[in-house]
Structure 1
């Protein structure tokens, strides 16, 4: 390994250990921003739904840890790592990442037309919330990641441009590239003036936009033979507007799996989501995420 590569790997480990000391679970990343360790199941023929239960590293964000010895072991197994990822949704911080992804504007166009920061300000005005001062990471492309914290009883799903074009959300099962990481496009660094800040609580109005509604507890389960069972969840998906279709589908699928209806309602929920304009592949992926994240 070249001296510069060793230096980059050493710095990545040092930054990851500092994050772990603050209670942020980390994994090593390659220069592509993907988990540096290959899945131990990549040669197995049948699909494997292992999230680290096998005890071997290589399960992406499921490897994330705050234990210093475990962090060192992960980086020892991936000496080519040039950065680190920070798992979102984990206690104690329940981190939520708001990714303002800036795209280069074509020559001759208004450079502010596709500004996700302006879109976030517009959302704040429309929904009456203020984005608080918080940890902010500058990305090599000119974008920024805002770090917020969520309540422990709210699961925020990952999303891409659902909140608004160019605004992605990193929640449960996702990760943020940590400051100090080096990628093929450049380095991630803390924005001036934010290094000493703690991640701020997510404003409630913003949380309502990015998280599924809280489930309503029923006093009893309906009759399994009732053909109307689950129709409320399907209707909830069908009445989704643009910008909330995936979030509503995720919430409905979670409730279905919690109540033992997931497998029987999966196709009906998929069809309902497609009718609202959600692509089929995205609908099926959302339901699969709900199945993985929901105890049932």
Structure 2
């Protein structure tokens, strides 16, 4: 191994140990940003073995991640070619959530303005490609999945089962380093409004074997066609029309199911429908008195 390679590997281990001292589970990474240790099952005959480290051998990617200094040293000793380290997300005690911005930060800022949350000051890592990773923390009772472009184009999320390339890592494209002014910051708690966007919607309930009231089918389709940013407004409009036509209560559950399928939570959908019922109630009562 060349002297430069040895120095890079030594620095990678040092940075990984520093992260482990702060309770962050780490694994060694190769210059391609992939886990450095190959799977112990790679040459096994037959289909791939669904093992996440239960066999007791290293080489299971993020499932090898540990904050124990001795175990970290052992992993790096098995991978002397490692030039960086990954930090496992979703693991206690920090339960990291990584917001991977491959696009301008303005995209996240616009989303924050639309959704009513503030992007907190938090530890941030600059990537060799010009992107940045925002490090946030999540609550213990919420599992944030990995996603690519689900939040917005150019924004990927690193959650449970994923990892972030740690600062100080060197890859084939360059080095990862803390963003100026953030090195002394701890990962900030994820804003609740953003956390709701990162968690998958509840699975739709099994449809009841009831008939959709006449005129209700078109309103349900109107809600199902909602795009991001339109969901609540479309649901409110459809619920108002339903109550004005006397089918609001009969259609409420179906509209709730449709809204959940578009990405709203059931609680948000029910609150919007209740608002529509309150708004239209005086008008409906007045109409009945006029007749």
User: What's the TM-score, normalizing by structure 1?
Assistant: 0.69
Once residues 33 and 52 of structure 2 are traced to their aligned partners in structure 1, the CA distance between those partners, rounded to angstroms, is: 20
Instruction: Give SS of 2:75's match.
Output: helix
Once residues 101 and 226 of structure 2 are traced to their aligned partners in structure 1, the CA distance between those partners, rounded to angstroms, is: 22
The counterpart of 2:183, out of the listed 195, 211, 216, is: 195
Match of 1:231 in 2: 206
Instruction: Give SS of 1:231's match.
Output: coil
Instruction: Give SS of 1:195's match.
Output: coil
Once residues 11 and 146 of structure 2 are traced to their aligned partners in structure 1, the CA distance between those partners, rounded to angstroms, is: 28
Q: CA deviation at 1:192?
A: 1.1
Match of 2:24 in 1: 24
Instruction: Give SS of 2:59's match.
Output: coil
Q: Which runs of 5+ in 1 are unaligned?
A: 103-114, 216-228, 233-237, 245-274, 277-296
**Residues 163 and 243 in structure 1, CA contact (< 8 A), matched pair in contact too:** no
Once residues 26 and 90 of structure 2 are traced to their aligned partners in structure 1, the CA distance between those partners, rounded to angstroms, is: 12
Instruction: Give SS of 2:168's match.
Output: coil
Q: Within 5 A, what are the aligned runs for 1:175-190?
A: 175-190=163-178
Once residues 225 and 191 of structure 2 are traced to their aligned partners in structure 1, the CA distance between those partners, rounded to angstroms, is: 22
Match of 2:78 in 1: 77
Once residues 2 and 179 of structure 1 are traced to their aligned partners in structure 2, the CA distance between those partners, rounded to angstroms, is: 23
Q: CA deviation at 1:82?
A: 0.2
Match of 2:129 in 1: 141
Q: CA deviation at 1:240?
A: 9.0
Q: CA deviation at 1:118?
A: 1.1
Once residues 144 and 123 of structure 2 are traced to their aligned partners in structure 1, the CA distance between those partners, rounded to angstroms, is: 19
**Residues 162 and 243 in structure 1, CA contact (< 8 A), matched pair in contact too:** no
Residue by residue over 1:11-48, the C-alpha shift from the partner in whole angstroms, topping out at 9 and shown as x without a partner, is: 00000000000010000000000000000001112221
Could you list the structure 1 runs, at least 4 aligned residues long, displaced by more than 2 angstroms after superposition.
212-215, 229-232, 238-244
Match of 2:40 in 1: 40
Q: Which runs of 5+ in 2 are unaligned?
A: 208-222, 230-260, 263-291
User: What's the TM-score, normalizing by structure 2?
Assistant: 0.70
* 1:89 correspondence with 2:90: yes
Once residues 225 and 61 of structure 2 are traced to their aligned partners in structure 1, the CA distance between those partners, rounded to angstroms, is: 32
Match of 2:62 in 1: 61
Cα distance, 1:242–1:179 mapped onto 2, change above 3 Å: farther
**Higher normalized helix content (fraction of residues):** 2
Count of residue correspondences: 217
Cα distance, 1:123–1:58 mapped onto 2, change above 3 Å: same
- Which one has the largest radius of gyration? 2
Cα distance, 1:162–1:240 mapped onto 2, change above 3 Å: farther
Q: Within 5 A, what are the aligned runs for 1:148-227?
A: 148-213=136-201
Residue by residue over 1:95-131, the C-alpha shift from the partner in whole angstroms, topping out at 9 and shown as x without a partner, is: 00000014xxxxxxxxxxxx3x111011000000000
Q: CA deviation at 1:193?
A: 1.0
Considering only aligned residues, what root-mean-square deviation do their CA atoms show, in Å?
2.4
Instruction: Give SS of 1:148's match.
Output: strand
Instruction: Give SS of 1:209's match.
Output: helix
